Copies of this chain bind each other. A is one copy, B any other.
Amino acid sequence: MNGAKSLVKTLLAAGVDTCFANPGTSEMHFVAALDQVPGMQCVLGLQENVVTGMADGYYRIARKPACTLLHCGPGLANGMANLHNARRARSGIVNIVGDQATYHRPFDAPLTADTTGMAQTVSAWVRTSTHSAELGRDAAEAVRAAQTFPGQVASLILPADVSWEEGGIVGTPFAVPVPPGIDSGAIEQAARTLRDQRDVLILLGGPAVFSESQALVQRIASATGAAVMASYAGASHLARGRGRMQLERVPYVMEQAIKALDPYRHIILVNATPPVGFFGYPGMPSEQANPNAQFHVLSRPDQDPVEALRGLVKALNAPEAAIPDPGPRPEAASGAPTPEGLAQTLAALMPENAIISDESVSYGRGFYKFTHAAPAHDWLHLAGGAIGDGMPVATGAALGAKKQRRVINLQADGSAMYTLQSLWTQAREQLPVTTIILNNSKYNILIGEYRNVGATPGATAMSMLDLGNPSIEWTRLANGMGVEAARADSMEELAKLMQASFGKSGPFLIELMV
């Protein structure tokens, strides 16, 4: 058995059965092993940032890691932005990067690069396997690292000769690592704060915004009167809709975030970190909480929020509490497209248990308010700010749900152009993804940011902010990659196209002119 076969067998034994791939020459023995050892679902992405973004989306829904297959340092580089996003989303990925044979590396052939240096910038764990006999064990450790709660990017660099040499040994899978326990002092401190103080905010991040945690948070909030919010940066996957808390995230815009957090003198962090601005701005602070606020860490991002919240419920003796009813389901909107209308239409029409992949950027900042009364759904956000994850995350999420849930991708046009190749994989795999391109033909968020600098963009600035010359025709781009598509100029047309798409088994793209 060569190293590559031991690698595939180890991955399968450890439960990793999906591989998002864009291979090259140095990975051909791994590809051959995937051919020879049955059991791995291999999904091709036509550019590596699609590959890594799919692995992120897959983990977010399947809650188990897939592996990737990338080609040398530059292939890794192409996928690094979405690995950055996955790192920020705390998604588990076994990121396999084929590379030059160990003995060939010193010759500095054209594709040779500092693969390790690149991997370290986006990974919690990096190892270069150096012998075929150790590759199985290295792979088992990579899976363990990826599974480390709530999920990590683990990069395994695989020189070609380690793949092709004989002597491979299948690695024994490790148990899924148990997160560090919750300190009883942290629970007592949070309980005391909630009992003794007014102006308390419970700030949720990571899995603390999933359903199981929400049920506990509801009890705590009902018993104590504390406010609850989701972190902006730390909550990139929320359980939402009927039966879930009507959470709002800390606003993106600095002034709004400072205002929203201003009332709170005590902030209990549940898998969240203290809120900071997405960027620094002249004359503005970096931190968003009231300077007089005290932070109390109930659970760190690497700890189990359910354990922490159970402990807190017990310490407070908080009784059962029902999640408040969000009121009637909205009706689909009519007329010209607006953000509110889109959110209402989405709430009106989305099927039960849908997945929203939201990279709507500036257009989507008010979507939450209008979608609390939608059926239960998962809402996925861009976690690391590197645009271009909405489409690949949607693609991977559909595979993570075994094509059993409708994925709705709310997608800004500028960001969509980063990873449009995702549409081809959606067509190839016949994935139930409805993409709604919000076509405003500009980098609208940047035009707003430019105005913050204190001026109206001139011709040179607009040459870098406008996408309208020429206009991008998304229906043609989708058709060119095998995805059916249509344009909507009104909310009625959008509603009709959305409903039709939900009846299809494959992908559909709607270009909404906003």
Residues of A at the B interface (CB closer than 8 Å) are 21-26, 28-29, 31-32, 34-36, 38, 40, 42-44, 46-47, 49, 69, 72-75, 77-78, 80-81, 84-85, 88, 100-101, 103-104, 107-111, 113-114, 117-118, 120-122, 160-161, 164, 233, 273, 276-280, 282, 286-287, 383-386, 388, 414, 417-418, 420-421, 424, 427-428, 445-446, 449-450, 452-453, 455, 457-461, 463-465, 467, 469-477, 479-482
Contact = CB atoms under 8 A, between A and B. Distances in A.
B121 A35 contact: no
A47 B384 CA distance: 17
B160 A280 contact: yes
B111 A385 contact: yes
A69 B460 CA distance: 13
A69 B233 CA distance: 25
Given A121-B113, A476-B479, A84 B74 contact: yes
Contact of A104 (B77, B286, B427, B452): B286
A236 to B, nearest CB: 9
A278 B450 CA distance: 46
24 contacts: A25-B445, A28-B452, A34-B461, A35-B457, A36-B458, A40-B460, A75-B386, A77-B81, A78-B78, A84-B113, A101-B280, A107-B286, A110-B384, A111-B385, A114-B120, A114-B121, A160-B280, A164-B282, A420-B421, A428-B469, A470-B482, A472-B482, A476-B477, A476-B479
Nearest to A121: B114
Contacts of A161: 280, 282
A53 to B, nearest CB: 12
A278 B110 contact: yes
- Stoichiometry, as copies per complex, reads 2
B418 A25 contact: no
A406 B70 CA distance: 35
Contact of A446 (B23, B233, B282, B469): B23
Given A25-B279, A110-B385, A461-B32, A479 B472 contact: no
Contacts of A427: 470
Contact of A479 (B100, B278, B450, B473): B473
Contacts of A445: 25
A503 to B, nearest CB: 21
B481 A477 contact: yes
Given A384-B111, A453-B29, A480-B480, A34 B101 contact: no
B100 A279 contact: yes
